[in-house]
């Protein structure tokens, strides 16, 4: 809030989602909250989940349903997760500096299809989840990836095993044929390996919902911490985008005041850029983040001892 107040004059509304909504209303997302989000210019989401609502009972509400309902309900099929290690943090990653230097990649994750939204069920001692993709769904996310690429698009799939991946590859090929940007295809297991052996080689990684979920957490470690990665989820209609850090609610440090707020601040920057057409402010905020890190700001996830409050001060001082 403080950051937003510094950047511009916004009308802010707060609504519960996830565990807070389950406690208040018995469901992770109410129709009223979905409608309020639809009526907004942008949605900034904190994080959902926590041990209190962890359950294996298929009939009990789960916090994650709120987030998935919001993504689906707002038609946000394109999830952008930029991985741009801050120069000051090149030694903060468990990977060697020489390996990370020059990394500036973008994961473009399909967000409203695949195994996350296919038919699922539990029947006695057997459970199933179904991965479904249509050509149309693949085509529209592929266009987003090409629109954002500078050097090449790496499309990640499991076409040696999955039928959805073969449809994915064929459709991406068709979209690529009309583009000047080069395309390469990579199997997901190989991509997981390449991400930590030559990350700087990637530009845009285009992939389906679950592969994108997994690879983006892996890619986050290139920046030193999962607490650094912002994201934007966009649709193709006039509705609002959703902006959220890639990390979860970090229940292990709840209430301690030590959470790294930089992924959230980075998500605010993405909201300013992609959701509110405020590029100047977005760039100013991003450079304030970089400068605060250059000044030595390190929260505990980056082996420092700055509190959330101190990190906020450090960023505001550089803005
Ligand atoms: C993410 C998260 C979510 C996902 C969870 C909370 C449902 O891990 O945004 O990456 O799997 O998409
Ligand atoms: Mg995830």
Give the tens place of pLDDT for each residue, 5-23: 999 999 999 999 999 999 9
For tokens 């082996």, name the residue. 303
Q: What is the pLDDT of residue 55?
A: 86
The preferred substitution site among 248, 250, 251, 267 for testing ligand 1, maximizing ligand atoms within 8 Å of CB, is: 248
Helix (H, G, I), strand (E, B) or coil at 182: coil
Q: What is the DSSP letter of 233?
A: E
Ligand 1 atom closest to residue 111's alpha carbon, by position in its atom list: 12
Ligand 1 atom closest to residue 248's alpha carbon, by position in its atom list: 6
For tokens 């390449």, name the residue. 194
Q: Whose CA is nearest to atom 11 of ligand 1?
A: 213
Query: 218 alpha carbon to ligand 1 midpoint, in Å?
Result: 13
Q: Whose CA is nearest to atom 8 of ligand 1?
A: 213
CA distance 307 to 310: 5
The CB-side HSE value for 127 (13 A sphere, CA atoms) comes to 6
What residues are annotated to the active site? 116, 158, 189, 213, 217
To 10 degrees, the CA torsion angle through 308, 70, 115, 153? -70
For tokens 């090929």, name the residue. 173
| Closest residue by Cα to residue 50 from 227, 260, 251 | 251
- Residues 128/88, Cβ–Cβ less than 8 Å: no
pTM above 0.85, yes or no: yes
Q: What is the pLDDT of residue 58?
A: 83
Q: Whose CA is nearest to atom 7 of ligand 1?
A: 64
Query: 218 alpha carbon to ligand 2 midpoint, in Å?
Result: 10
Protein residues with CB under 6 Å of any ligand 1 atom: 48-49, 64, 67-68, 213, 246, 248
How buried is 188 (Cβ within 10 angstroms: 0-12 exposed, 13-18 middle, 19+ buried)? buried
CA distance 207 to 155: 6
- Residues 234/257, Cβ–Cβ less than 8 Å: no
Q: Name the pairing type of β-strands 230-234 and 204-207.
A: unpaired
Q: How far, in whole angstroms, is CA 133 from its chain's centroid?
A: 20
The preferred substitution site among 18, 45, 54, 64 for testing ligand 1, maximizing ligand atoms within 8 Å of CB, is: 64
To 10 degrees, the CA torsion angle through 140, 141, 147, 149? -150
CA distance 230 to 238: 22
Query: 294 alpha carbon to ligand 1 midpoint, in Å?
Result: 30
The preferred substitution site among 62, 117, 213 for testing ligand 1, maximizing ligand atoms within 8 Å of CB, is: 213
Q: Whose CA is nearest to atom 9 of ligand 1?
A: 246
Sequence-ordered alpha helix ranges (H) in 178-278: 188-197, 209-220, 262-270
| Closest residue by Cα to residue 286 from 275, 276, 272 | 272
Q: Whose CA is nearest to atom 12 of ligand 1?
A: 213
Query: 318 alpha carbon to ligand 1 midpoint, in Å?
Result: 31
- Non-local (6+) Cβ contacts of 213 within 8 A are 109
Ligand in nearest proximity to the CA of 50: 1
All residue ranges of the chain with pLDDT < 70 are none
What's the pLDDT tens digit per position in 252-309? 999 999 999 999 999 999 999 999 999 999 999 999 999 999 999 999 999 999 999 9
| Closest residue by Cα to residue 48 from 22, 13, 84 | 22
Terminal-residue alpha carbon distance, the chain: 14
Query: 295 alpha carbon to ligand 1 midpoint, in Å?
Result: 32
CA distance 189 to 202: 15
The CB-side HSE value for 60 (13 A sphere, CA atoms) comes to 10
Ligand in nearest proximity to the CA of 230: 1
CA distance 193 to 27: 39
Q: What is the pLDDT of residue 57?
A: 87
Q: What is the DSSP letter of 200?
A: G
Q: Tell me the chain's radius of gyration from C-alpha atoms.
A: 20
Biggest distance spanned by C-alpha atoms of the chain: 58
Q: Whose CA is nearest to atom 10 of ligand 1?
A: 213
Query: 42 alpha carbon to ligand 1 midpoint, in Å?
Result: 19
């Amino acid at each position: 809030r403080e950051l937003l107040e510094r950047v511009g004059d916004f009308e802010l509304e707060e609504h519960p989602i996830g565990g807070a909504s389950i406690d208040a209303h018995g469901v992770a997302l109410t129709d009223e909250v979905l409608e309020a989000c639809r009526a907004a210019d942008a949605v900034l989401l904190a994080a959902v989940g926590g041990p209190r609502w962890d359950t294996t009972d298929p009939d009990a509400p789960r916090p994650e349903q709120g987030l998935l309902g919001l993504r689906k309900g707002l038609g946000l099929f394109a999830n952008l997760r930029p991985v741009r290690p801050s120069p000051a943090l090149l030694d903060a990653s468990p990977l060697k500096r020489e390996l990370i230097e020059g990394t500036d990649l973008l994961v473009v994750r399909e967000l409203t299809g695949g195994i996350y939204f296919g038919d699922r069920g539990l029947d006695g001692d057997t459970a199933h989840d179904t991965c479904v993709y249509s050509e149309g769904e693949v085509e529209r996310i592929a266009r987003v990836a090409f629109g954002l690429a500078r050097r090449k698009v790496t499309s990640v799939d499991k076409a040696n095993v999955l039928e959805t991946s073969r449809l994915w590859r064929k459709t991406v090929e068709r979209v690529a044929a009309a583009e000047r940007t080069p395309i390469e295809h990579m199997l997901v297991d190989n991509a997981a390996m390449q991400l930590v052996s030559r990350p700087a080689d990637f530009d845009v990684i285009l992939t389906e919902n679950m592969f994108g979920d997994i690879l983006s957490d892996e890619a986050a470690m290139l920046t030193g911490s999962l607490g650094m990665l912002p994201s934007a989820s966009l649709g193709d209609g006039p509705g609002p985008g959703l902006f959220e850090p890639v990390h979860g609610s970090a229940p292990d440090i709840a209430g301690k005041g030590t959470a790294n707020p930089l992924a959230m601040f980075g998500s605010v920057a993405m909201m300013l850029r992609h959701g509110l057409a405020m590029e100047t402010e977005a760039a100013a905020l991003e450079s304030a983040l970089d400068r605060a890190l250059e000044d030595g700001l390190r929260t505990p996830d980056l082996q420092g001892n700055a509190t959330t409050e101190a990190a906020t001060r450090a960023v505001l001082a550089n803005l």
